[in-house]
Structure 1
């Protein structure tokens, strides 16, 4: 009997140990904000969208995200989101890489109608030097409009060049704006939000890559953005936790809105799932 109890105890200990190791790996291989590395930097980082040509069923968009660090990092990861007319169409991201300096991601996306494509990527490197852990990060984006109509030849543009392009841009932008307004309205009703926020779509956060958030300096902005993407990865990219505790695929959700409290105390990330349910993520901002 004692031998059986001892054997069961050893089996349980083994199971617990395996669980702890696996759990540690999952936790370790995640975006975690560490102070910026003063020496490491990205030699290149890019998100690119291009019209790859028409097909019998529509047209194809080539979507790429890549980055090159000036040294090999302890951990490397890039993730990218592609929104079509304000709705998440696809996401890119591979297994975490150890001891690598470069990452390349690409995918062809099929579409059947005129649309706006917004892609935003987060490029991340975690660096270890003795007992010191630092990080390096970049945000890149691209945007493309594609017009497919029986009245005009298939073409794409980033900035409208003529009257027709301006009209298409206006129509599509209005559609996206409606999605964002509905997201904000649903979240305000669901979570009883106060309106003392400045609102930024996630796809516009690249603008703070080289200029600070209002009310914050450059170092504080980098920390806020790093922690923002940490939350986006864990609570959006990997799956959205519903209010009932289940996890939902983010595909089909609206562009997340970043609500920065005007008292600079916290930020909220809100989005609306495919079925209309609202999601919210709250992050505190340390006093500065």
Structure 2
């Protein structure tokens, strides 16, 4: 079946704002969105954590997300993407006002596979007439195996069977990503060698200025705007055009193609359609 290529959508803040006003005013009006605001020294995260737990008795996979800041914020939000075998299976979006602690839980059915939970924790502080924000990131990974009707789970392999299962998964994902990049290069005439290719799960607090080799403030702004764009393109589905959208569930973990002055975000929807987003580093 012929796959229709998705429209290229920019993630520029100005364009994102226009996109939100046109497409989502009635969809997102009842809840805060991940929105980038400049940082402030009063916003200090004391703890951020994402943890995956498998419950063999109930057959569920649980994602726990937790954040604590030094003082109360006007708004705190945990936004998590849960992937199994490199495909999105669940979204967690939880927020509370006037708090310094936010604990969030999301459950889904347990199946064999490699799980990754990625969370952006955001705190928003209003001072006088200005709004400030800060984002921090956490993640967890869990491999779930099933043999003879029984589940087992591990983060690091402890025997040969687990090591082989993890190696096989990594090989298959790398092959899928190579094919995805080849398709993008062919369809959109992009020279992949001009970019550094980094999966979204490699963007962490520790790697932030390595992924985006600028000042810490600029790297934080780029990452914050990236997650703002992902939120607005994922929570209510991936909007291909103003008239057409597809569900985000089933889409692949985003690949970041990073150049000196911009970034491309590559995603394959469950339907097979390609989504190519652009964010300039202005």
Could you tell me the TM-score, scaled by structure 1's length? 0.81
In the alignment, which residue of structure 2 is the partner of 1:5?
none
In the alignment, which residue of structure 2 is the partner of 1:238?
236
Decide whether the 8 Å contact of 2:81 with 2:92 is kept in 1.
yes
Summarize the Cα distance change of 1:214–1:225 in structure 2 as closer, same or farther, 3 Å threshold.
closer
Partner secondary structure for residue 47 of structure 2: strand
Q: CA deviation at 1:153?
A: 5.7
Whether 2:29 is the aligned partner of 1:32: answer: no
Deviations 1:6-34 (A, max 9, x none): xxxxxxxxxxxxx9xx67x8499322222
Distance 1:214 1:72 in 2: 30
Partner secondary structure for residue 101 of structure 1: strand
Gaps of 5+ in 2: 1-21
Whether 2:281 is the aligned partner of 1:278: answer: no
Q: How many residues are treated as equivalent by the alignment?
A: 258
Deviations 1:230-280 (A, max 9, x none): 11111223321125731221000011111111xx11011110001100011
Summarize the Cα distance change of 1:90–1:182 in structure 2 as closer, same or farther, 3 Å threshold.
farther
Distance 2:205 2:160 in 1: 28
Deviations 1:172-218 (A, max 9, x none): 22222233223323333332222211111112212645654353232
Whether 2:157 is the aligned partner of 1:154: answer: no
In the alignment, which residue of structure 1 is the partner of 2:252?
254
The structure number with the bigger radius of gyration is 1
**Structure 2 counterpart of 1:139, from 137, 140, 155:** 137
In the alignment, which residue of structure 2 is the partner of 1:63?
63
Whether 2:172 is the aligned partner of 1:172: answer: no
Deviations 1:5-63 (A, max 9, x none): xxxxxxxxxxxxxx9xx67x8499322222211122122211001221245xxx42221
What's the RMSD between the two structures over aligned residues?
2.6
Deviations 1:97-130 (A, max 9, x none): 33233322212222333x1101100011121110
Could you tell me the TM-score, scaled by structure 2's length? 0.82
Partner secondary structure for residue 68 of structure 2: strand
Higher helix share: 1
Gaps of 5+ in 1: 1-18
Partner secondary structure for residue 180 of structure 1: helix
